Structure 1
Amino acid sequence: MIPQLVTAHYRRRDGRWRRLYIPVVPVVLALSPLLLLAVLGGLVACLATRISPGGALRGAGQLLWALPGTRIEIEQGPTAVLVSVR
């Protein structure tokens, strides 16, 4: 299942948490021209390094399929970030 929502939490300087909800589908639609350029760049890179473009595409698809349920937590000093993919 492709991720539908990314939730990002970050701690403000005053110690309170801020939560951002980022819907994946509208962001992908808005960035689709750049996504097309990224795919073409990836294809050229695959051909330049003699990697199978089909295998690279399959690997990227498996990575996207595995994203739901992922939690990334980073904390360093007063800064803290939590990203959750649903």
Structure 2
Amino acid sequence: MQILRTAEQLRDFVAANPENIGFVPTMGALHDGHASLIKRCVTENKTAIVSTFVNPAQFLAGEDFEDYPKNEQNDAKIC
């Protein structure tokens, strides 16, 4: 497993692995439902990419962006 943190890293990875890439977009805080999607993606594709991006633009002022659960170690374990 590789952890990519920038758009440039992702572009380079995709360029080096262009065949049959699956994508599982999430907002992190992965759970069993995500794990099921990830397993299916892995079985159906040569390469699986899982995004755990929490987009601050999805939250209105005063909403819980700061409180949204973020646990990279647990997310990596599930992946």
Give the number of the structure with larger relative contact order, counting CA–CA contacts within 8 Å between residues 6 or more apart. Answer: 1
TM range (shorter): under 0.3
Q: TM-score, normalised by structure 2?
A: 0.28
Q: TM-score, normalised by structure 1?
A: 0.26
More strand by share: 1
Which has the greater radius of gyration? 1
